[in-house]
Amino acid sequence: MATIKDVAKLAGVALSTASYALSGDHRVSANTREKVLEAARQLNYHKNGFAMDLKRSRTNTIALILADLSGPFYSELIRSVQEVALSNGYDLIACSSMGERDSTAVRFLREKRVDGAVVLAYNMTDEVLHASAGPNFPIIAMDRVISGEGLVSIIVDGESGGYEATRYLINKGHRKVAYISGPSNSFANSLRYQGFLRAMKEAGLEEQAKWRLSGGFIRDGGYKATKMMLMQGELPTAIFYGNDEMAIGGLKAFEEGGIRVPEDISIIGFDDIELTEFIQPPLTTIRQPMYESGSLAGHLLFQMLNGESVNESYKLNVQIIERQSVSAPANSNSSV
Residue-wise pLDDT tens digits, 32-45: 888 988 888 888 87
Asked whether the predicted pLDDT for residue 50 surpasses 60, the reply is no
Fill in the amino acid letter for 68: D
Tell me, yes or no, whether 198 and 260 share the same domain. Answer: yes
Asked whether the predicted pLDDT for residue 334 surpasses 50, the reply is no
Average pLDDT over residues 97-119: 84
Tell me, yes or no, whether 144 and 70 share the same domain. Answer: yes
Instruction: Please give the residue range of the domain that contains residue 68.
Output: 61-156+290-317
Tell me, yes or no, whether 81 and 137 share the same domain. Answer: yes
3-state secondary structure of 57: coil
Percent of the chain's residues with pLDDT above 90? 69
Tell me, yes or no, whether 208 and 230 share the same domain. Answer: yes
Handedness of CA 164, 170, 174, 176 (dihedral sign): positive
SS3 content of the chain, % helix, strand, coil (to 5): 45, 15, 40
Determine phi and psi for 126, rounding to 5 degrees.
-60, -35
Asked whether the predicted pLDDT for residue 55 surpasses 50, the reply is no
Tell me, yes or no, whether 8 and 85 share the same domain. Answer: no
Percent of the chain's residues with pLDDT above 70? 92
Q: Tell me, yes or no, whether 136 lies in a domain.
A: yes
What does pTM read for this prediction? 0.78
Tell me, yes or no, whether 227 and 259 share the same domain. Answer: yes
H and E: helices and strands count for the chain = 12, 12
Residue-level pLDDT at 7: 86
Tally the domains of the chain.
3
Residue-level pLDDT at 20: 72
Tell me, yes or no, whether 20 and 100 share the same domain. Answer: no
CATH number of the structural domain spanning residue 73: 3.40.50.2300
Q: Tell me, yes or no, whether 200 lies in a domain.
A: yes
Average pLDDT over residues 253-266: 97
Q: Tell me, yes or no, whether 304 lies in a domain.
A: yes
Tell me, yes or no, whether 111 and 227 share the same domain. Answer: no
Asked whether the predicted pLDDT for residue 51 surpasses 90, the reply is no
Alpha-helix runs per DSSP H in 44-181: 49-54, 73-87, 104-110, 126-132, 158-171
3-state secondary structure of 141: strand
| Burial call 228-251: b when 16+ CB within 10 Å, e when fewer | ebbeeeebbbbbbbbbbbbbbbbb
Q: Tell me, yes or no, whether 326 lies in a domain.
A: no
Q: Tell me, yes or no, whether 331 lies in a domain.
A: no
Residue-level pLDDT at 16: 74
Q: Tell me, yes or no, whether 212 lies in a domain.
A: yes
Residue 290 vs residue 251, higher pLDDT: 251
pLDDT-derived band at 336 (thresholds 50, 70, 90) equals: very low
Residue-level pLDDT at 67: 86
How many Å apart are CA 336 and CA 333, to the nearest integer? 9
Task: Decide if 271 contacts 287 (C-beta within 8 A).
Answer: yes
Residue-level pLDDT at 52: 46
Q: Tell me, yes or no, whether 247 lies in a domain.
A: yes
Tell me, yes or no, whether 174 and 273 share the same domain. Answer: yes
Average pLDDT over residues 60-69: 90
Asked whether the predicted pLDDT for residue 220 surpasses 60, the reply is yes
- Using alpha carbons only, give the angle 230, 276, 295 rounded to the nearest 5 degrees: 130
Tell me, yes or no, whether 68 and 118 share the same domain. Answer: yes
Q: Tell me, yes or no, whether 219 lies in a domain.
A: yes
